[in-house]
Structure 1
Amino acid sequence: MNTNDLDPMLTVGEVGEKRLIRDHIRPLAQKTGRTNSIWDDCATISAGVDNITITTDKIPEDLVAWKYGLMDSVALGRYLVEVNASDICSMGCQPKYLLVNVALPRNFSASEFIKIYSGISKRCRELGISIVGGDTKFASSLSLVGIAVGYGASGNFHRYTAGPSELVFVTGKVGDLVQRSALLSITNGILESLMKILNDRSTIQ
């Protein structure tokens, strides 16, 4: 599908992530060579005996768990490592290196920033991952992006080759954090509405 086929009034949210990848990103990437990895969480590059596996993932700026205190700054840093390392592991490879890209407002707490990075550092040490670079700069909002590199003899677990009778593995309680975050978000919304009503009444009096 050509980009001209899209209604210029459509937003990316209305088009959807999967359609963007299928109809636009993959065809454009196809012009540069190999494209099967576009469907996966990682790109796998053959390098002799082992395969090099590369991924990138970011933490949403409005992550509810962090916004409402279910996750502190140290845990946020650990989470950045885990979302990237898990992608490498999902391809049957071992995560070995991490690059960390951080953008944050000038008024962001220096202490909280150090806590985020200490969480990143500690989780990397636990998983045997080396931080080998990255980028840090000021921006209008907090942004945490990781780029992980791994290697192994596998790297052959692909979404496009998955089929019936194959096993799917998950860790932890699926949906637990989403449910807690949703409940907290609703509760917080109710409290904000009540506070607004009380403030409005106070102003009128």
Structure 2
Amino acid sequence: MQRTDVNTLGEFGLIDHLTENFVNKQQTTILGVGDDAAIIAGGDEQIVISTDMLVEGIHFDFTYTPLKHLGYKAVVVNLSDIAAMNARPEQITVSIALSNRFSVEALDELYAGIAAACKTYGVDLVGGDTTSSNKGLIISITAIGRAPAGRITRRSGAKVGDLICITGNLGAAYLGLQLLEREKAVFKDNPEMQPKMGEHAPYLLQRQLRPEARTDMVDTFAKEGIVPTSMIDISDGLASEIFHICKASGVGAIIEESGVPIHNDAQLQALEFNLDPITTALSGGEDYELLFTIDPKDTEKIRFLPDLYIAGEIVAKEDGVKLHTKGGNIHPIKAQGWNHFGE
């Protein structure tokens, strides 16, 4: 039998391959695989469901990840997918597989973080599962949300002429991870050495270890009478996510470098690492901000909203996906986000 390495397909190629022969048979299944969340019929409103898994050694490292922060982040990354559908999260389930090196007290810390996230976002823990693992910790969380049918936003609705918008700022979480990995390497060589993170570290570390989901934007959109034409959360880097929207919508995109929001601490830390700040924004990942498109007629509604930036325009598919630099050059964008299967 021929053996094909999963790396040749990548995460989303593998998902497409494994699910291509599945056909939805239930009338209540409105949208299955292929977006930030599935959509299920639920009366006057529709239900959105998303599942994510975090694996020790792949998605987190206990050298520098506190258990309470991990519990909080594990919830947030799932709620971010619900927000990306323009829905409000309501419930989660939590399943964990753990080795015998974890004590009850350690799990108390993990669940304290989960509880803190549930309190912050007003969601209920309604179930899950616990089992053993031969090595390390695995966390799987399912998030459930709800929204009126007319307000749910998919990746597939972007149209030529739509404006591309971004919430918050990008690249900081990646740079926070680089700081942690740098200090981990120093610690391995000299366990007596105390970390020296630098003046930009507090914000960058917070963005990496304890991110927040932009559920607030769901309320903002509703208040302002805006329904994005497409939307996705930025978990794998801006470049990867704009490609997902363009593929699903059958369009191209022009991203303006001057319109990509980057925090000042991230700008300065990137330069210290001899990195181009726009590269960290395009390929970094784990920012959990929202990338969305709007009809140009809604421009005035969003122009002066806080923490929201117009970063480009949707163009015809044949024009590709490109970056317009501050220097006036135009370059093709390559989707070089997080590789979930490693090298």
- Could you state the TM-score of these two structures normalised by the residue count of structure 1? 0.78
Tell me, in whole angstroms, the C-alpha distance in 2 between the residues paired with 1:182 and 1:67: 15
Kindly indicate whether residue 63 of structure 2 is the aligned counterpart of residue 68 of structure 1. yes
Map 1:151-170 to 2 at 5 A. Answer: 151-154=146-149, 156-164=152-160, 165-170=162-167
The answer on whether the counterparts of 1:39 and 1:160 sit within 8 Å (CA) in structure 2 is no
Tell me, in whole angstroms, the C-alpha distance in 2 between the residues paired with 1:166 and 1:145: 35
The answer on whether the counterparts of 2:24 and 2:32 sit within 8 Å (CA) in structure 1 is no
For residue 308 of structure 2, what is the aligned residue in structure 1?
A: none
The answer on whether the counterparts of 1:46 and 1:52 sit within 8 Å (CA) in structure 2 is yes
Tell me, in whole angstroms, the C-alpha distance in 1 between the residues paired with 2:63 and 2:171: 17
Any idea what SS the aligned residue of 2:21 has?
helix
Tell me which moved more, 32-41 or 156-165. Answer: 32-41
Cα shift at 1:21: 2.9
For residue 141 of structure 2, what is the aligned residue in structure 1?
A: 146
Cα shift at 1:128: 0.9
Kindly indicate whether residue 82 of structure 2 is the aligned counterpart of residue 88 of structure 1. yes
For residue 247 of structure 2, what is the aligned residue in structure 1?
A: none
Kindly indicate whether residue 19 of structure 2 is the aligned counterpart of residue 49 of structure 1. no
Map 1:52-201 to 2 at 5 A. Answer: 52-62=47-57, 66-69=61-64, 71-140=65-134, 141-154=136-149, 156-164=152-160, 165-171=162-168, 173-189=169-185, 192=188, 194=189
CA distance 1:51–1:64, shift in 2 (3 Å): closer
Deviation string for 1:13-61 (max 9, x for gaps)?
A: 2221222233x23422236566854220100112221001111012232
Letter in 2 for 1:30: V
Cα shift at 1:190: 6.1
The answer on whether the counterparts of 1:81 and 1:120 sit within 8 Å (CA) in structure 2 is yes
CA distance 1:186–1:13, shift in 2 (3 Å): farther
Tell me, in whole angstroms, the C-alpha distance in 1 between the residues paired with 2:165 and 2:2: 39
- Could you state the TM-score of these two structures normalised by the residue count of structure 2? 0.49
Cα shift at 1:186: 4.6
Provide structure 2 residue ranges, at least 5 long, that are not aligned to the other structure.
191-343
Any idea what SS the aligned residue of 2:102 has?
coil
Tell me, in whole angstroms, the C-alpha distance in 2 between the residues paired with 1:122 and 1:133: 17
Letter in 1 for 2:76: E
For residue 203 of structure 1, what is the aligned residue in structure 2?
A: none
Kindly indicate whether residue 22 of structure 2 is the aligned counterpart of residue 25 of structure 1. no
CA RMSD, 1 decimal: 2.5
Deviation string for 1:107-133 (max 9, x for gaps)?
A: 213222110101101210121101001
Provide structure 1 residue ranges, at least 5 long, that are not aligned to the other structure.
1-6, 196-205
Letter in 2 for 1:86: S
Higher RCO structure (Cα 8 Å, ≥6 apart): 1
Percentage of matched positions with identical amino acids: 26
CA distance 1:158–1:64, shift in 2 (3 Å): closer
For residue 254 of structure 2, what is the aligned residue in structure 1?
A: none
CA distance 1:31–1:8, shift in 2 (3 Å): farther
Tell me which moved more, 149-158 or 45-54. Answer: 149-158
